[in-house]
Structure 1
Amino acid sequence: MLSHRNLIANIRQIGDVLNVRDDDCWMATLPLYQAFGLTVTCLMPLVEGVPVVCHPDPADAVGIGKAVARYRATLMCGTSTLLGLYSGHPRLHPLMFGPLRLVVTGAGRLDAAVARDFELRFHVPVLEGYGCTETTPVASVNLPDHLDTRWWSVQTGSKSGTVGLALPGSTFRIVDPETLEALPNGEAGRVLIGGTQIMKGYLNDPELSARALIQRDGLRWYKTGDRGFLDDDGFLTIVDRDWRSDAAGERRADLAVATECRP
């Protein structure tokens, strides 16, 4: 259950870190029945007041390339699989993606080779993010490094192999899977996500909700099934995604079975 507060909070968080501009245009290809597509490529452009170019098939590389070129789209979201498809498509000319200034990936780990091939062919930065449906969905994202011309210092916004820093208004905590006690930086454990974008709970399932959510230090935390660690700068690295031991995993398993059993 994602409240209006959850949605607006996540929209503001993403808009701030991506520095959405008045002249931006979103290339929207992700399905709206997923939180990634609904929040990031539908609701956020509406709230930010920027135009959206919609395409119903994210695997149609040439159609998407033509739409980006024709309407001068500057931002696009995708998955590692889709970026690999675009990089290897012989009919997708590199100039078609020329207007893009950023591509953000999620919904799974970004393959380093895919990111490298995409950037080499299209000359567009690929930024990996992280989140869950239960977090509306974005929890963190890598960002382009920023040169501060006042002090002539570089603010590091991304680190290869990580999923970036927690969004403003949210935080990560790495804990022991059994005791939920905090672990030191560099030590892998269960990833907890706390902040304004954490869901209210699972619909009509208070028992599962109680197992997936905890209240600590004045925040509501979502207990992910992911294993990861934080470095000293706050960048999160996901080591393993294992849903078998958490409440969310049971929910996903139920949904997967229900989907497979549809005629």
Structure 2
Amino acid sequence: MSASPRHHAFWPARVPHAIHVPTTSIWHNLAVSAQRYPDKAALVFFDRVTTYGELLSQTERLAAALHALGVRQGDRVLLNMQNVPQLIVAHFAILRANAVVVPVNPMNRAEELKHYIQDAQAKVALTTADLAPLLAAASNDLPAAERLSQLVVTQYRDAFDVDTAVGTPAMAAGWVDWLVPERPLPQLEGGQVHAWQPLLQTTEAPPPHVAGADDMAVLPYTSGTTGLPKGCIHPHRTLMHNTVAGSLWGQGHSEAITLAVVPMFHATGIVSMLYTTIYCASTLVLMPRWDRDVAGHLISRWKVTSWTNIPTMVIDLMSSPQFAQYDLSSLTSIGGGGAAMPQAVAQRLLDQYGLVYQEGYGLTETAAPTHANHISHPKQQCLGMPFVGTDARVVDPETLLEMPVGESGEIIVRGPQIFSGYWRNPEATQAAFVEFDGQRYFRTGDMGRMDEEGFFFITDRLKRMINASGFKVWPAEVELLMYKHPAVQEACVIASRDAYRGESPKAVVVLRADHQHTTAEDIVAWCRDNMAAYKVPREVAFVAALPKSGSGKVLWRVLQDEQDAQNARNAAVAV
């Protein structure tokens, strides 16, 4: 790391510049917290409290059951759930069994799920009953040798009391038909399907816990500018670093109460929320999906002190007709990333509630934060300063020469939280790193600048990525799926401005000659059936041909520039 970095002049008091990373596993954090606070609330879900002692016991019983189903050290196990207690039990049970968690976005459809099963070479998956048919359909459509052999399915009502939850402010009216019914288990060709509750009744002992700092713990998937999603290899040590560093940065402690609504299949939800909470023996108040009035009620009811979110959630909560009824006075920490917090909203939080919205920046490859703002010296609409133990530079993306202060370039980072590489993809791993000043740095692919105080700001779009309410949409992945539509000859996905989401996908499509009758609505409906909702193009435009280079490559930036110009004209008219 360079001598006396600029941001050290603004470094938060009592936070070390670097830390020694524990050599124990992530699961060990739960064991320690349960030993210290067996009767303390670990999870709250519709007023049902799960103590740390109960959470540890459930985790060990499920780990034993997974071992009995054939899960062994290093095996990749798919975990496809919303933010419910079973996700946390399953996540730590997989780690307890010395295996690897493969977190999957529950919004994915069967066509998308096939890739995760195949690429991770997973034989076991855990999911909820509403999602189980999709996983089963994905597995059943694969060659026999690549299918799942075991599917563990939980009903939502396994984790809450129906009689006391329905009709309360903690359960949105629209959730009742989703969470309450008991659904039948699907058929898994060539495999077995197991109900959740019987597995938790096992009396067998789990295997010895032997996973250590250098063993793979989590294999989250990230998409990119080309191809299908890639698995990011994270051993326990990379995750442990940001867990411990995050607790120091946020002044985490055992009395904190965290609202858990950021999805825990995502790096931020896993590391900055789930792992840090368990490490500190704090309490997680769980929301299975976003609802502004449920969030307002839970913050008030449980005196939530910490809320990691996406800025659109804050905007939505503040626009609720019921907002004045909610008590936010318990909140001492609020922040997030994935999308910029509008300056006006951040200022309102500060002026009305004394809350500093702390923005941060990180990637799946970096176990969440590489940059963060601290409450002691925050900057609005800023990535923050390099995180604990992290060195970040701004370089010319072509020459890799360091850029002067204030000038834009690609952000590269080095630190103990950086992933080991892409799963089964050495070429992509090699391309992701660069040598700079004799050290190995990860190329973020994001363009940014550093100011005089050493704080970083995003400046431009280097990666071809769409940011929809904090969800990253990779056009290449959407295009690959769209090519499976029988009417689509060619497709190019670009970003269109969205007043609420910030950006939304727009598809520019060339139809096949024998499918000219196909409508935009037909394409959108097909996309809804075959890809996660946030990836679905909100608009489809038909053209006779896509612009191409002399070598035949689609010039997506030409279409993007045309769309950006149209967005600017629309904004001018609106003013």
TM-score range with shorter-chain normalisation?
Answer: 0.7 to 0.9
Within 5 Å, give how 1:182-261 maps onto structure 2: 182-217=402-437, 219-244=439-464, 252-257=474-479, 261=530
Q: What does residue 149 of structure 1 align with?
A: none
The 3 A distance-change label for structure 1 pair 254 and 48 is farther
Return the offset for 1:88: 1.1
What secondary structure does 1:38 align onto? helix
Return the offset for 1:42: 0.8
Task: Determine if contact 2:340/2:381 at 8 Å carries over to the other structure.
Answer: no
121-130 or 172-181: bigger deviation: 121-130
- Please report the TM-score for the alignment, with normalisation by the length of structure 1: 0.85
Q: What does residue 12 of structure 1 align with?
A: 244
What secondary structure does 1:225 align onto? strand
Distance 1:36 1:101 in 2: 19
Deviations 1:211-254 (A, max 9, x none): 11234456442111211111222111111233139xxxxx9445
Distance 2:475 2:367 in 1: 20
The 3 A distance-change label for structure 1 pair 23 and 165 is same
Q: What does residue 280 of structure 2 align with?
A: 48
What secondary structure does 2:275 align onto? helix
Distance 1:14 1:74 in 2: 16
Q: What does residue 78 of structure 1 align with?
A: 309
Whichever residue aligns with residue 196 of structure 1, its letter is: P
Return the offset for 1:163: 1.6
State yes or no: 1:3 paired with 2:235. Answer: yes
State yes or no: 1:162 paired with 2:394. Answer: no
Deviations 1:186-216 (A, max 9, x none): 1111111111111111211111111112344
Q: What does residue 124 of structure 1 align with?
A: 355
Q: What does residue 66 of structure 1 align with?
A: 297
Distance 1:56 1:258 in 2: 30
State yes or no: 1:108 paired with 2:339. Answer: yes
The 3 A distance-change label for structure 1 pair 7 and 257 is farther
The 3 A distance-change label for structure 1 pair 53 and 180 is same
Task: Determine if contact 1:198/1:220 at 8 Å carries over to the other structure.
Answer: no
Deviations 1:14-42 (A, max 9, x none): 11111113321111101111111111111
Q: What does residue 22 of structure 1 align with?
A: 254
Provide structure 1 residue ranges, at least 5 long, that are not aligned to the other structure. Answer: 146-156, 246-250
Distance 1:256 1:3 in 2: 29
Q: What does residue 394 of structure 2 align with?
A: 174
Provide structure 2 residue ranges, at least 5 long, that are not aligned to the other structure. Answer: 1-232, 466-472, 482-526, 533-575
Q: What does residue 270 of structure 2 align with?
A: 38
Q: Bigger relative contact order, structure 1 or 2, given CA contacts below 8 A and separation 6+?
A: 1
The 3 A distance-change label for structure 1 pair 92 and 223 is same
Whichever residue aligns with residue 243 of structure 1, its letter is: K
Distance 1:252 1:210 in 2: 21
Task: Determine if contact 2:297/2:326 at 8 Å carries over to the other structure.
Answer: no
Distance 1:257 1:18 in 2: 39
Task: Determine if contact 1:175/1:189 at 8 Å carries over to the other structure.
Answer: yes
Return the offset for 1:9: 0.6
Q: Tell me the C-alpha RMSD between the 2 structures.
A: 2.2
Return the offset for 1:159: 2.2
Deviations 1:157-196 (A, max 9, x none): 2223322111110111000010111112111111111111
State yes or no: 1:88 paired with 2:308. Answer: no
Task: Determine if contact 2:366/2:417 at 8 Å carries over to the other structure.
Answer: yes
Task: Determine if contact 1:94/1:122 at 8 Å carries over to the other structure.
Answer: no
The 3 A distance-change label for structure 1 pair 254 and 89 is same
5-14 or 216-225: bigger deviation: 216-225
Whichever residue aligns with residue 168 of structure 1, its letter is: V
What secondary structure does 2:327 align onto? helix
What secondary structure does 2:427 align onto? helix
Return the offset for 1:110: 1.9
What secondary structure does 2:459 align onto? strand
- Please report the TM-score for the alignment, with normalisation by the length of structure 2: 0.41
Which of 1 and 2 has greater Rg?
2
Distance 2:265 2:312 in 1: 19
Distance 1:94 1:135 in 2: 39
Distance 2:453 2:275 in 1: 31
Distance 1:43 1:254 in 2: 31
Distance 1:110 1:63 in 2: 22
